[in-house]
Amino acid sequence: MSHIRVRFAPSPTGYLHIGGLRTALYNYLFAKKNGGKFILRIEDTDQKRFVTGAIESLVRVMETMSLVPDEGVFLGGGKPIQKGDKGPYIQSERLDLYKKYAEELLANRKAYRCFCSPESLEALRAEQTANKQAPRYDKRCFTLTPDEIERKMAAGEQYVLRLNVDIARGDVIFNDLVRGEVKINAKDIDDQVLMKSDGFPTYHLANVVDDHLMEITHIIRGEEWLPSTPKHILLYEAFGWEMPEFAHIPLLLNPDKSKLSKRQGDVSVEDYLKKGYLKEALINFIALLGWNPGQGSTQEIFSLEELIQTFDLKNVHKAGAVFDLQKLNWMNAEYIKKLSVDDLYLAALSGNFLKKPLIKNAPSTAQTPEYLKRLLTIEQNRLAKLSDIGDNNQFFFVAQLSYDTDFLNWKQNSSVMTKEAIVKAREILSGLTDTEWFQKETLEKVLLDAAGEKRGDFLWPLRAALTGAEKSPSPFDVAWVLGKEESLKRIEDALKMLG
Ligand code: GLU
């Protein structure tokens, strides 16, 4: 058994960001590939950002996406439950631990109390900016004497704990598994707040303490956390703890190369699921945002199992990855094509895509499972997402079509010719039994034979009568979906219009 342990450590914001899904996925793949453990930890120490039900919805989406952790937070009876011997895995339940470790740093002078008010910090920042210096805390509280500290505390002055960065330490260097050597000078690292005045830890302290106590070996996270890593390294050093490996995965970008944002499209996994993207397609697509199989492979379609086999941090790119919706649509369409019609129907049913007003308001005969499965058979190869079902073929769901009589005429044909064609179609179709009708090939063959050489003369009026639409699948397919009774009704309606 490998000792590899990785974690996904989201802050519960109420939804799972597509970038979070990718971070979770890469951690999951890395763990599974290497026989390690994947841990889900909830980082909820920022009380200002508390959202009710956020943990539940996060865990639920992770489960939906099949990214189930080995340890950490799960759902039991709809509520968060925790499994594993390194818990609790919810940071707000670990406050005593952070306090204990903060006190250890304080005792070793690796951290110090800072009593500066927000106003004086603001003034300091303004002064530094005016002097064209990078804003950083000037350590003025580091030199407070024990007496001064005691007096301030006795007077009830609020304070935070800051990391005591030793500027003389020089470069902080680490080897990122994606980005290679990263170097930053200690003079460019601020004396980071570790404990806030309300007794809550900041992200930095809680994250490092937990990664250590939970024996995390590899920290795989988004590039936006790269600037935090030198601070974390100083913390590991301050505690004298063994350093984990780091891998920072590239930013997700909008097509215009700006950071992926809500303004340019959906960013939550839930939004994509709601639109009818299949979870397998989403996982596949997300996996390729920042990673490729390497070795000249051009494979693009991967099952989760194949991703586990193929995934390697070596093949994660440094450059930002553009979120290309068209590619997602293409990929989703590929996954939809691969489903059996029964599975497609079940996916559509369970995702509530058959409850849209178009279908819900249709005659009951157009809502039966058999009818909808025939529709899906026809649409399957053209669907980009499940929410598109029926949208391009609305005529399948209306009780009464509306079109101009002229619409029934093929090119310059007269309405007499059109009527002849439709009468002929009525004759042929009414002669079919239901069993013959629902053999798609039989229906097609009978109509094609009847059409003879000049197909348009016969097939256009029939298709027009059945759909009333400029564009639609072939008349055979349409008739097959509609069934005998409804098809003949539409034909009669057309004949009535023709007089
Ligand atoms: N809580 C951080 C987040 O929301 C975790 C970052 C990390 O993985 O260290 O993404």
What's the mean per-residue pLDDT of the chain?
96
Q: How far is CA 435 from CA 131, 364, 439, 442, 484, in A?
A: 87, 21, 7, 10, 10
Residue type, 301: I
What is the total count of domains within the chain? 4
End-to-end CA distance of the chain: 81
Which atom belonging to ligand 1 lies closest to the Cα atom of 43?
Answer: 1
Q: What CA–CA distance (Å, rounded) separates 287 from 35?
A: 19
Which residues are bridge partners to 220 per DSSP? 247
Decide the pairing of beta strands 321-322 and 252-253.
parallel
- The angle that helices 325-338 and 279-287 make with each other, rounded to 10 degrees, is 130
Which residues touch 408 (CB under 8 Å, ≥6 apart)? 415, 418, 422, 461, 464, 465, 494, 497, 498
In this structure, the answer to whether residues 259 and 208 fall within a common structural domain is: no
Mean pLDDT of the region 194-209: 96
Which of 394, 423, 441 is the C-terminal boundary of a domain?
Answer: 394
What is the tens place of the pLDDT at every residue in 155-190? 999 999 999 999 999 999 999 999 999 999 999 999
* CB of residue 207 inside a 6 A radius of ligand 1: yes
In this structure, the answer to whether residues 303 and 360 fall within a common structural domain is: no
In this structure, the answer to whether residues 117 and 180 fall within a common structural domain is: yes
* Residue 109, in any domain of the structure: yes
Three-state secondary-structure class, residue 79: strand
- Give the CATH number of the domain where residue 99 resides: 3.40.50.620
Per-residue pLDDT, 265: 77
Which of 347, 362, 394 is the C-terminal boundary of a domain?
Answer: 394
User: Which residue bears the tokens 């003879």?
Assistant: 452
Whether pLDDT at 72 is above 80 = yes
In this structure, the answer to whether residues 455 and 377 fall within a common structural domain is: no
The answer to whether the CB of 337 falls within 8 A of the CB of 385 is: no
* Residue 44, in any domain of the structure: yes
206: containing domain: 94-249
In this structure, the answer to whether residues 346 and 414 fall within a common structural domain is: no
Give the DSSP H or E segment for 207. helix 203-213
In this structure, the answer to whether residues 17 and 132 fall within a common structural domain is: no
Q: pLDDT tier at 313 (50, 70, 90 boundaries)?
A: very high
* CB of residue 228 inside a 6 A radius of ligand 1: no
Q: State in Å: Cα 10 to ligand 1 middle.
A: 5
Q: What CA–CA distance (Å, rounded) separates 149 from 154?
A: 9
Q: pLDDT tier at 52 (50, 70, 90 boundaries)?
A: confident
Q: How far is CA 59 from CA 54, 459, 486, in A?
A: 9, 53, 46
Which atom belonging to ligand 1 lies closest to the Cα atom of 221?
Answer: 8
* Residue 281, in any domain of the structure: yes
In this structure, the answer to whether residues 52 and 197 fall within a common structural domain is: no
Lowest mean pLDDT among 160-174, 199-213, 260-274, 310-324: 260-274
Q: pLDDT tier at 1 (50, 70, 90 boundaries)?
A: low
Which residues touch 43 (CB under 8 Å, ≥6 apart)? 9, 10, 11, 91, 203, 206, 207
* Residue 331, in any domain of the structure: no
Q: What CA–CA distance (Å, rounded) separates 233 from 340?
A: 52
In this prediction the pTM is 0.94
- Give the CATH number of the domain where residue 433 resides: 1.10.10.350
Whether pLDDT at 49 is above 90 = no
Considering only CA atoms, which residue is closest to atom 2 of ligand 1? 10
Mean pLDDT of the region 239-251: 97
* CB of residue 10 inside a 6 A radius of ligand 1: yes
In this structure, the answer to whether residues 104 and 243 fall within a common structural domain is: yes
* Half-sphere exposure in the Cβ direction for 198 (13 Å, CA): 7
In this structure, the answer to whether residues 61 and 133 fall within a common structural domain is: no
Which of 394, 425, 457 is the C-terminal boundary of a domain?
Answer: 394
Whether pLDDT at 353 is above 80 = yes
Residue type, 394: Q
Q: What CA–CA distance (Å, rounded) separates 76 from 82?
A: 9
* Residue 328, in any domain of the structure: no
Q: Is 358 exposed, middle or buried (0-12, 13-18, 19+ CB in 10 A)?
A: middle
Starting from the edge strand earliest in sequence, which strands make up the sheet with 37-40, in order? 79-83, 71-76, 37-40, 5-8, 218-222, 245-249, 171-176, 180-185
In this structure, the answer to whether residues 109 and 222 fall within a common structural domain is: yes
In this structure, the answer to whether residues 83 and 133 fall within a common structural domain is: no
* Residue 210, in any domain of the structure: yes
Share of the chain above pLDDT 90, in %: 94
Considering only CA atoms, which residue is closest to atom 5 of ligand 1? 9
Mean pLDDT of the region 135-141: 95
* CB of residue 11 inside a 6 A radius of ligand 1: yes
Per-residue pLDDT, 2: 66
Active site residues: 262
* Residue 329, in any domain of the structure: no
Neighbours of 60 (CB within 10 A): 15
In this structure, the answer to whether residues 156 and 11 fall within a common structural domain is: no
Q: pLDDT tier at 475 (50, 70, 90 boundaries)?
A: very high
Max Cα separation, the chain?
A: 108
Considering only CA atoms, which residue is closest to atom 3 of ligand 1? 10
Q: Give 17's DSSP letter.
A: B
* Residue 69, in any domain of the structure: yes
